Every structure is written in C-alpha cells, then in structure tokens.
Structure 1
Amino acid sequence: MIRTFQQHILRPTRLLNGLWDFITDPDNIGIHEGWASKFPEGSRKHVVPSCWNNELGTYEYIGAAWYRTYFDNVQETNIRLVFEGILHHADVYVDGKHIGYHFGGFTQFSVLLPELAQGKHELVIRVDNTVDWQTLPTDIADWHSYGGIIRSVELQELPDVYIDSMKIDYQLKDDSADIQLHIVLHSLSKGDCQVEVNAFTEGLSLSSSHVDIAAGQAVSLTLRGSLEKIRRWDVGEPELYTFTVQAGEDDLIDRTGFRTVEVQGSDILLNGKKLYLQGVNRHEEHPEWGFAFPPKLMLKDLDILTDMGCNIVRGSHYPQSQFWIDLLDEHGMLLWSEIPMWGCFMSKETLGSPIFIERGIKMLDEMISRDYHHPSIIFWGAHNEIDTRTEEALELTKAFVGKIRSMDSSRLVTYATMHPEQDIVLSYFDVIGINKYYGWYEGSVDGFSSMLENYYIHAEKHGAGGKPVIMSEFGAAGIFGDSGWEPRLFSEDYQADVVTRALKIFRDDPRIAGTLIWHFADIRVDVRSDRPYFRDRARSFNNKGLLSEYRKPKLAYRVVKAIYRSDLLDR
C-alpha cells in the first residue's frame, strides 16, 4: 500500500511488490558486465519492499545490489513506474535500457515509458546504499545505514493526456474557504488534443474547462471555487476533504484538511488557538523490517502515541512514508517533517559543498511537493544539529529556508540546534528547536535552566528574541529490563528520572511552546568496530526510546504518559 485511500479510479494501477530476484555486487562489477540486460546466476529471492540489512548474509552489507522483476502489458501503452523509496542511489533499467537515476532514499521518484510495447518486460534496479561526506545522510549518522527498496513500487498506465500533478491551495475566512486547484497536464500524443477538466469535492464542483494541449507538451491551469461552512482540521478532530480531478480519460484524487498555523509572539497558534506541543521523536524503523515499516505496525505506533497523550510526532530524521502521514491526518496527530540531514559530526567542508547543498534543496523540493496537502504537517525542518556557529551553516540555511518558503507559505519553518548559546542562524526560522542532553552527555539535568537563560539572552542579540522555542530533543538511555533500587546510568530508573526532571523545568517555563522527547522506541545504529562513533550505544542500539525496539514500554514511558495526560496541563 502507498496511501490509505485510492488515488485513481480511471487510471489503471498495480503494485509490483513481492518476490524479486536479488544479488549483491560487492566488487561493483555489475555495470561493466552488463547485469542490467543479463542478470547473473546465483541470485536469490528478496521481498520488495524490505531492507537487505535485516536478512541473513547481508546484515551489515554496504554497497551495490541488483533487483529484477517482470511486468506485462496487455497492449501497447504509456507506463509510469513510481518508486516510493530506494536507499540511496537507484539506477532503473527496463529491457536492458537505462531509464533513470535518483539519489535520496526517502522521497518518491518516477520514470516514464511512453508507448511501451505489448508483452513481458524486465525491470532491473541497481541499488547502492553507500554514503559519503557529500550525501544526505552522510556516512556518519545516528541510525543504521540500511539498503534496499524500502517502499512500494507502483506501475501506472497513462492515457495520452494525463494529470501530472494537482496542488490544492486555499485561504480561510471564518467558516469559508477560497480554493485554487493548480493542475498540470502532460501530453504524450503525436497530435494536438483537447480535454475537458473537472474537479469536485464535498459540496463543491469546480468550474470545468476545455484545455488545448499541443503534441508532446504540458499545460498548467487553475480551477477556483469557494466552500462554505467548512469543518476545520484540528488536533483530535481530523476533518478531511477529498478532491478529485478528471481530465479526459485520467483522474487524480488527493485529500487535505483546512486549518491555519501561525506564530504570535512566543506562541504557536493552530486555527487561532494557542497550541502546546507534547510529543516524541520517532524513527520509522524496526529491527525486523528496518525502514521498510509495515502498515500494521504504523497503526500500533499511532495507538501508542495516542495512549501516551502526544499531539505531535517528529519524523526523525527523514521524510516518512505517505501511508504513515495519511494515518496522522486521519487521527488528528501533528507532524514535524524534515530531510535526512543529521549533522552532529558534519564538517565545514560538507556544509559548504555545492553538491551537498544541491542535494538538500532537491530533497526539500521532493518532500514538500509530495506532502504539501497533509494537514498534519505544521513544520518543515531544514536541518538537524549542524554546526550553526559557522558561516558555512549560515549560507546553507539561507538556501534551504529560501527554498522552503518559496514552495510553501502556509507552514512554519524550523530546525534543531545543538548550539543554542552560540547559534548564528536563529533569525531565519519561525520556531527554534533545541537539542540538549543534560543528564546524559553533559552535566546534570539542572543544566537546562542556565542553558535556557543564556539562550534567551543570545536570541535577543540575534534577532530571535521571543520566538517560540521547542525542546526538540532531550532524554537519556535506559536499557529495557534494567531496573533496580536506584537510578543508575543506563537503567530504566535513571532514564525516567532524567525525563521527569527535564519536563518539570520545561513545563514551568512559559517561553517554551512544547517538548519532543528523544525518542519513541530504541533503534538500531551504525556501530562498527573500525570506527570511533557511537561506541556508547549498548547492544548497537540507541537505547533512549521510551519503548524497546519491540514496542515494550519502559518506566519512562509510564511517567511520560502520566505527565502528558495529566490534568495539570490545561492549555
């Protein structure tokens, strides 16, 4: 499944998920030996979607691997192949011909095959999960470097004139919404065409239009209308509207929810009401599935978040699957969405690299384009824990924030800083996220109080005084099942004590707009014997989860639930 709802009725689609042929290429000889047209012997079956680092024999494999499957056309037709997520480099071949390349494991891409002949066709994909100092993520990131086709592959049959995209914009006034549907049509026809375009949603049929399209060209148009007595999307009140566009023989269906999000002083307002955020950071990861996270477990995670009393979750540290975000839309749970830019050990050379910046801007474009309609997303995150004391970070921030604001003015732009008392990029953001681990990596929990006072003074000097602040990461490791009579390091008792004391400090500070605990559940990390990084990660896991990797609650989960759901928080 890609979405929780059907996006096409007229357009034939089918998933190519299932058993594919799979073989690793540790010596990187596949391109030279022509594996795209002559798949080598010795392959085995591999499930798509999945991660190869969850399988016997490839548990720690980093490098290239090749996948193969087949699909049939009952007649000559236009085919689009949509790939929801491939970690990280993907080369696509159809019938031995190279069709396209994409970098970025967490965003969608597609390839087009016009007038593909009737019959059986071979689809081969070379996947490479190698990362370096100029990739996003870089080769040093605080999660495991999984590889594979991690999300669904979809085949779409397109008519000669098809709907390439639909963008829903709206302006709210009281209980009415002025709506603009921006539609892009593409023609694969050899001759000029005319199609009728219609759009409708609940209680509104937008004006139809006959559109002329020259052979092989694209055309953009905007349909406008107004909806009265709208129901606003809100936390716990997930009012959604489904929009359907039809153009000739094609259709496209998407959803949105009407709501506003803005900043007023140090407050974040949702639909004009002050919002206090309480949530966690969550990796879309599991020790049995890696990043190929199954829908059943998504529902369980959402139930756990709701049980805990969360109203927001941070998508750490990459765009999450569309199915997950659909679920958040449907349950009234907020989301902070960001690109995979974890920068704790990132060098100035990386921050200043043109190809690195270019890749980041492309990922922002793909994330925002794909997820623009989700009402649950209230923050776009630009980066996480880069060295925001440097001029390189400042220039990168200008580029990233400029890109976000050029694409979307309806949401707030944020980031997470690990240098709140020296940060020089504060003024570029609507909301400031602070990542600090007093009680774990530095000092005692009481250090949060002096750090915050220093931050507020620093923020005033850098044009960010009074901006909303979110404690976007804090916490401590607690190994599941390790408990005793006292709060020892790595025990569940110590973790619960750190989180409880930190939450007390933050909730007593009226200038803080919310808390996001690090993190939801324990995750596998990239611990290697030949590298010095993350050697404090017992079991090769980041053990700061409120739950174990198998979603068993620790003591910290229970204390956070009591705090988040307490009657003391009546905001």
Structure 2
Amino acid sequence: MLRTFREHHIRKTALLDGPWDFVTDPGNEGLHGKWFDRFPHDSKSLYIPSCWNNELSLFHYEGVAWYRKKIRLEDAQHVRLIFHAVLGHCDVYLNGRHLGYHYGGYTPFDFVVPSLSEGEHELIVRTDSTLDRLTIPTEHVDWFHYGGIIRSVELQLLPDLYIEQLKIDYLLEGADADICIQVRLHSLSQQAVTTTLKLSEGGHVFHSEHVKLEAGQSVDCEVKLHWSDVRLWNVGKPELYKIEARTDFDDKIDRIGFRRIETKNHRILINGTAIYLKGVNRHEEHPEWGFAFPPKLMQKDLDIIRELGCNTVRGSHYPQSPYWLDLLDEHGIIFWSEIPMWGAFLPNETVCEPLFQDRALTMISEMVSMHYHHPSVVFWSVHNEIDSRTQDAYEMTERLVSLVKQMDTSRLVTYATMHPLEDVLLPLFDVIGINKYYGWYEGDISGFRQMLQQFHERAEMLGAGDRPVLMTEFGGAGIFGDVGWEPRLFSEDYQAQIVTEALDIFRSDAKIGGTYIWQFADIRGDLKSDGKHFRDRARSFNNKGLLNEYRKPKQAFREVRRIYQSWNDFADLHK
C-alpha cells in the first residue's frame, strides 16, 4: 500500500510490486554491454520492493545492479511510471530507450510516456548504491548502506487530459481558513479538450468550472475560498480533510489538516498552545526488510511509540514513507523530516562542492513536495551533525534554508548540531537541535548542565537566544538481555541510567522545548572488516535503541515510558 487512503478512483493504477529479474554488475559492464537492450540471461528473481542486501550472498554488496519487469498493455495508452524510492543513482529504460536519470533514495520520481503501444514492454532499471565523497550521504555513514528499489513501482494509465498536480495552501485566523487550491491540468491530446473541474470535500462539491486546454497545453487553475469553523488538527486530536479534484476524465485525492505552527518563549505552539515534545529518533529499518519497510511493521512501530508516551518522532535521517506519515497524521503525532546529509565525517571540502550542494537542494525540494500536505510534519531539517563551525557551512546552509522558505513558510526550519558551543549557524534557523552524548562518548551525564548553560549564553550572544532548543540526540548503547546488579557499559542498566538522568536535566531547563531520544530501536551499523569506523558497534548494530531490532523492549524503554507518560503534552509558557 502506498497510502492509508485511495488517491484515485477514476484513474487506473497498478503496482508493479512482486518478482523482478535481477542481476548485479560488480564490474560495471552493463552500460557497455547494453544490458538495457539485452538483459543478461543469468538473472535471478528478486521481490520488489526490497533491499538486495537482505538476500543470501549479497549482504555486503555495494555497487551497480539491474532490474527488469515486463508489462503488458491491452490497448495503446498514455502511461505514467512512478518509482516511489530507489536508493542512489537510478537510470530507467523502456524498450531500450532511456527515459531518464534520478539521484536520491527516499523520494519519488516519475516518467510520462504518451501513447505507448499495446502489447508487451520491457522496463529495465539500472541502480548504483555506491557512496563517495559527493553522494548524500557520503561514504562514511552511521547506518547500514542498503541498495535497491525500496518502495513500490506504480503504473498509471493516463487519460488525454489528466491532473498533473494538486496543491493546497491555507492561512488560519483562529478557526477561519483562507484556502488556496491549485490544480494543474495537462493535455496529451492532439486537439483541444474541454472538461469540468470539480473540487469537493467529504463528497460535497464546493467549486466547479469549465476548463479548455489546447493540444499539449498545461493550465493552472487557482481557487480561493474562505471556510469558517474548521476542525483543527492538533497533538493527540487529529482532524483531517480529504480534498478531491475531479474532471470528466481523471481525479486526484489528497488529505490535509488545518493547524498553525509558531514559536514563543522557547516552545513550539500548535494552534496557539505550547507543546512539550516527547520523542524518539526512528530509522525506517528492520534487519529482515532493510529500508523496504512494510506497512504492517509501521503500524506496530506506531503502536509502540504511542505506548511509550511520545507525541513526536524524528525521521532519522531521511524522508520516510508517506504511509508512515499518514499514520502519524491520523494519530496526531508530530514529525521531523530531514534529508540524509549526515555529517559527522563530512569533510568541509565536500560542503563547498557545487554538485554536493545541488544534490542537497534537489533532495530538499523533493522532500518538501512529497510531504507538503501532511499536517504531522512540523519541522523541515536540512542537515545533521555537519561541521557547523565554518563559513563554508554557513554559506551552504543559507542556500538550503532559503529554498525551504521559498517552498513553504508554514513550517519550522531546523537542523541538529554536534558542535553547540562553536556553531555559527544558530541564527539561520527557527529551531535548534542539539546532539550530545554525555555519559557515552564524552564525560559524565552531569556534563549536560554546564554545556547547556554555556550554549544558552552563546545563543544569546549570536542573536538566537529566543529560539526553541530541542535535545535531538542523546543516550547510550545497551545490549538486549545484558542486565546485572549495577550499571556498566553496554548493559541495559547503564543505558537506562543515562537516558533517565538526561531527561531529568533537560526537563528542568526552561529553554529546552523537547527531547528526541537516540533511538527507537537498534539498527544495523555500517561496519566493514577492513574499515576503521564504528568498530565499537557490538553485534554490528547501533545498540542505542530503547528496543532491540526485533522491537523487544529494554529496561530503558520501561523507564522512558514511565517518564514520558507522566509528562503533560502541554507546556507552561511561563515556567
């Protein structure tokens, strides 16, 4: 499933999920050998969506791989192919013809093929999961580096005149909403076409107009209206509206929630009410599925997160599935969305590279476009743990923040810093996230107190003293089942001690607006026998999860549940 609701009733759609022909290309011979035209005979069958590293003998494979799927049309059709996420570099071919290239990993891209003939067609995909100094993430990254087509591939049959885009914006004044709906229609016809465009909510048509398009033309229709007494979306109290655009030939449905996001007195406000954020960092990863995370497991993760007492989740460290965000929308849980620029080992020289910056800008644009209508998304994050002490980082970050604000002024722009006492980026952001691991990577847990005091003084000096501050990463590793009479490194007892003492420190600081514990569940680490990084990861996992990788709770989970459930969601602005 792509979403928790249907996006189309008229438009015919089909998922191409299931077995595809698959072959690795470790020598990168496929382009020279024209595998896009003559697919190798020695291929195997691989289920899509999936990560190839979950297959036997491919655990450590990083590089090029090819996929093939044969599709059949009963009649000549306009076709739209949507790849909902492919890791790394991706080239798509249809019947030997190159449709296009995409770089990324966690956002969709598509190709429209007009008048594709009836009969059988060969769809071939070349992927390359190789990381290097200019990829995002770069070659040294603190999560397992999977490869593959990780989300569904969708085939849509388009009419001559189809809905290309539905975009909904609004401004709230109390419970009154000034709404602007933009519908882009595109014609694939060889002659002029007239249609009736209708907009509806809950089956009630609130706008209708006739639209004429010339052959091959695109038309943007803009509708402005005022709704009174709208139901507001809020934490724990989700209210959602389905908006449908329909023509005589096509339809498109999306879902929104009305809420106003602000900051005041170091707090995040939703609809004028201050919220104290109680969260975890969650990788969309599982040892048996990798990043091809099935909806059933998403529902289980959500149930566990709600049981923990969370009202927010940070999407570490990449745009996550729209299905997951649908679930958060439906349960009133705040989401932090970010691109996969993970920077603990990111050289400053890379930050200056035009290609690296262009890739980051593209990823931000695609992330914002994909999640634009989800009311759960409150934060857009542009990077995590880069060297934020340099002028080069400042100039790149200015570009990234500027793009976010061009695309969306309704949400908060943020990031997470690992250099809080030397960071020069603080004034650029609406909200500041701090990643620090006292008690684990450095010093004693009590070190948080002095660090925060110094940070608040520095933020004030840089003109960012009024920003909400969130503790976006903290914690320590605990091996599931390792318990004893006293806390010690890698025991569940010591992990629980770190997290509970840190939470107490943060809650007593009036300038801290919330916490995101690192992390929800244990994840695979990027360990290589010939590599020098992350060799402290026991079991080849990052073991800082409150749960193990199979979602079994550790002692820290029970302690955090006790603490989070005792904290009110709503924060006193005057404390």
Same fold (TM over 0.5): yes
2:428 corresponds to 1:424: no
Question: Contact 1:178–1:225 (CA<8 Å) still a contact in 2?
Answer: yes
Percent of aligned positions with the same letter in both sequences?
56
Structure 1 residues 164-173 or 311-320, which shifts more? 164-173
Aligned to 2:98: 98
Report the Cα offset of residue 202 of structure 1: 3.4
Report the Cα offset of residue 173 of structure 1: 2.1
Residues of 2 paired with 1:337 and 1:286: CA distance? 19
Aligned to 2:28: 28
Question: Residue 466 of structure 1: SS of its match in structure 2?
Answer: coil
Aligned to 1:515: 515
Q: How does 1:361-400 map to 2 (within 5 A)?
A: 361-400=361-400
Report the Cα offset of residue 512 of structure 1: 0.5
Residues of 2 paired with 1:280 and 1:355: CA distance? 32
Question: Residue 402 of structure 2: SS of its match in structure 1?
Answer: helix
Aligned to 2:317: 317
Aligned to 1:168: 168
Question: Contact 2:311–2:569 (CA<8 Å) still a contact in 1?
Answer: no
In the superposition, relative to structure 1, how do residues 131 and 554 fare at CA in structure 2: closer, same or farther (>3 Å)? same
Describe the superposition over 1:28-60 as per-residue Cα deviations: whole angstroms up to 9, x where unpaired: 101111111111111111000000001101011
In the superposition, relative to structure 1, how do residues 379 and 138 fare at CA in structure 2: closer, same or farther (>3 Å)? same
Q: How does 1:31-430 map to 2 (within 5 A)?
A: 31-202=31-202, 205-430=205-430
Describe the superposition over 1:255-274 as per-residue Cα deviations: whole angstroms up to 9, x where unpaired: 00011111113121011001
Question: Residue 169 of structure 1: SS of its match in structure 2?
Answer: strand
Aligned to 1:13: 13
Residues of 2 paired with 1:326 and 1:569: CA distance? 21
Describe the superposition over 1:360-399 as per-residue Cα deviations: whole angstroms up to 9, x where unpaired: 1101111111110000000000110001100111011100
Residues of 1 paired with 2:213 and 2:141: CA distance? 47
Residues of 2 paired with 1:140 and 1:208: CA distance? 53
Question: Contact 1:62–1:130 (CA<8 Å) still a contact in 2?
Answer: yes
In the superposition, relative to structure 1, how do residues 570 and 37 fare at CA in structure 2: closer, same or farther (>3 Å)? closer
Unaligned 5+ runs, structure 1: none
Residues of 2 paired with 1:306 and 1:206: CA distance? 36
Question: Residue 238 of structure 1: SS of its match in structure 2?
Answer: coil
Residues of 2 paired with 1:484 and 1:264: CA distance? 44
Aligned to 1:445: 445
Which residue identity does 1:339 align to in structure 2? Answer: I
Question: Residue 566 of structure 2: SS of its match in structure 1?
Answer: coil
In the superposition, relative to structure 1, how do residues 567 and 379 fare at CA in structure 2: closer, same or farther (>3 Å)? closer
Question: Contact 2:277–2:569 (CA<8 Å) still a contact in 1?
Answer: no
Aligned to 1:532: 532
Residues of 1 paired with 2:214 and 2:447: CA distance? 65
TM-score by length of 2: 0.98
Report the Cα offset of residue 203 of structure 1: 7.8
Which residue identity does 1:369 align to in structure 2? Answer: S
Residues of 1 paired with 2:290 and 2:296: CA distance? 14
Report the Cα offset of residue 186 of structure 1: 1.3
Which residue identity does 2:6 align to in structure 1? Answer: Q
Question: Contact 2:275–2:570 (CA<8 Å) still a contact in 1?
Answer: no
Report the Cα offset of residue 439 of structure 1: 0.4
Residues of 2 paired with 1:111 and 1:570: CA distance? 45
In the superposition, relative to structure 1, how do residues 91 and 570 fare at CA in structure 2: closer, same or farther (>3 Å)? closer
Residues of 2 paired with 1:240 and 1:340: CA distance? 29
Question: Contact 2:165–2:185 (CA<8 Å) still a contact in 1?
Answer: yes
Question: Residue 242 of structure 1: SS of its match in structure 2?
Answer: strand
Unaligned 5+ runs, structure 2: none
Describe the superposition over 1:128-170 as per-residue Cα deviations: whole angstroms up to 9, x where unpaired: 1111111111111100110000000000000111111111111
Describe the superposition over 1:214-249 as per-residue Cα deviations: whole angstroms up to 9, x where unpaired: 321212121122223211111111110000001230
Which residue identity does 1:165 align to in structure 2? Answer: Q
Report the Cα offset of residue 105 of structure 1: 0.6
In the superposition, relative to structure 1, how do residues 332 and 137 fare at CA in structure 2: closer, same or farther (>3 Å)? same
Report the Cα offset of residue 209 of structure 1: 2.0
2:455 corresponds to 1:436: no
Describe the superposition over 1:85-104 as per-residue Cα deviations: whole angstroms up to 9, x where unpaired: 00111111111111111000
TM-score by length of 1: 0.99
Report the Cα offset of residue 184 of structure 1: 1.1
Q: How does 1:483-502 map to 2 (within 5 A)?
A: 483-502=483-502
Alignment length, in residue pairs? Answer: 571
Aligned to 1:562: 562
Describe the superposition over 1:289-346 as per-residue Cα deviations: whole angstroms up to 9, x where unpaired: 0000011100000000000000000000000011111111111111000000100110
Question: Residue 499 of structure 1: SS of its match in structure 2?
Answer: helix
In the superposition, relative to structure 1, how do residues 256 and 485 fare at CA in structure 2: closer, same or farther (>3 Å)? same
Residues of 1 paired with 2:406 and 2:4: CA distance? 29
Question: Residue 534 of structure 1: SS of its match in structure 2?
Answer: coil
Residues of 2 paired with 1:494 and 1:7: CA distance? 47
Which residue identity does 2:297 align to in structure 1? Answer: L
Residues of 2 paired with 1:531 and 1:400: CA distance? 32
Structure 1 residues 174-183 or 419-428, which shifts more? 174-183
Question: Contact 2:436–2:473 (CA<8 Å) still a contact in 1?
Answer: yes
Residues of 2 paired with 1:114 and 1:507: CA distance? 58
Residues of 2 paired with 1:434 and 1:472: CA distance? 5
Residues of 2 paired with 1:107 and 1:337: CA distance? 12
Report the Cα offset of residue 112 of structure 1: 1.1
Question: Residue 386 of structure 2: SS of its match in structure 1?
Answer: coil
Question: Contact 1:206–1:224 (CA<8 Å) still a contact in 2?
Answer: no
In the superposition, relative to structure 1, how do residues 4 and 157 fare at CA in structure 2: closer, same or farther (>3 Å)? same
Structure 1 residues 561-570 or 9-18, which shifts more? 561-570
Report the Cα offset of residue 204 of structure 1: 5.3
Residues of 1 paired with 2:397 and 2:204: CA distance? 41
Aligned to 1:2: 2
Residues of 2 paired with 1:553 and 1:493: CA distance? 13
Question: Contact 1:49–1:292 (CA<8 Å) still a contact in 2?
Answer: yes
In the superposition, relative to structure 1, how do residues 543 and 391 fare at CA in structure 2: closer, same or farther (>3 Å)? same
Which residue identity does 1:377 align to in structure 2? Answer: V
Aligned to 2:460: 460
Residues of 2 paired with 1:490 and 1:174: CA distance? 50
Which residue identity does 1:526 align to in structure 2? Answer: D
Residues of 1 paired with 2:342 and 2:253: CA distance? 34
Which residue identity does 2:249 align to in structure 1? Answer: E
In the superposition, relative to structure 1, how do residues 203 and 13 fare at CA in structure 2: closer, same or farther (>3 Å)? closer
Question: Residue 562 of structure 1: SS of its match in structure 2?
Answer: helix
Question: Contact 1:176–1:226 (CA<8 Å) still a contact in 2?
Answer: yes
